[in-house]
Structure 1
């Protein structure tokens, strides 16, 4: 399955109609893991959107969270690495969300927030 298929599945399950919102959830879900994604996504399966569309008003926060995670992994903090990691985290996070059997609706995302904050 590629990230587009994950997002289609999540849209159907959650009734959240836009990919950018689901990609934000996927990014946060992946960043909750202490490890870096191991399989970078191929560029031919990427979902293309501008940073502004992806991040909305939280752009600085999402970029800072990504940079902190990469820093903790000992990665170079150049733009190419950060963009690659952004895509990898979104892909991994979307896979986690699709694979979560409790992810049935938008309320499931809200419950996930509580669970991740409690870790």
Structure 2
């Protein structure tokens, strides 16, 4: 495992396609950042611990994180520590994967998410 590339499952890809249509956000990475932030704010660990990253959606860490890569990395390391894990590269990647997937699922399941304003409302809540 390497943090160089971020891969998604086919169900997550399908949910992102829906979210792109609803929000008008065109880039996978932007939606994945929203999903990560949403999931990380929940102190409970994600129920799904293993994700099969079988879709053709793949992005580099740099594309995923953008100019805030250091901040996202620090958040992931802290989450590993909070969950009682050593912040190794493998654990950080696993934490990233399960939290992005949980966040995508939460976003895709929201009935009140009708446009980009819904994402902003989530951030302000």
Common fold: TM-score over 0.5: yes
SS of residue in 2 equivalent to 1:109 = helix
> RMSD of the alignment, in Å?
1.3
Greater helix fraction, Structure 1 or Structure 2: 1
**Cα distance, 1:53 vs structure 2:** 0.4
The reply on whether 1:62 has 2:59 as its aligned counterpart is no
Q: 1:14 aligns with which of 14, 23, 47?
A: 23
Following superposition, which runs of at least 4 residues in structure 1 exceed 2 angstroms of deviation?
A: none
SS of residue in 1 equivalent to 2:70 = helix
Please, what TM-score do these two structures have when normalized by structure 2? Answer: 0.87
Which runs of 5 or more structure 2 residues have no equivalent in the other structure?
1-9
**Cα distance, 1:47 vs structure 2:** 3.0
The corresponding residue for 1:5 is 14
The corresponding residue for 2:121 is 111
Please, what TM-score do these two structures have when normalized by structure 1? Answer: 0.91
C-alpha contact 1:3 1:46 (8 A) present in aligned 2: no
Structure 1: distance between partners of 2:85 and 2:91: 8
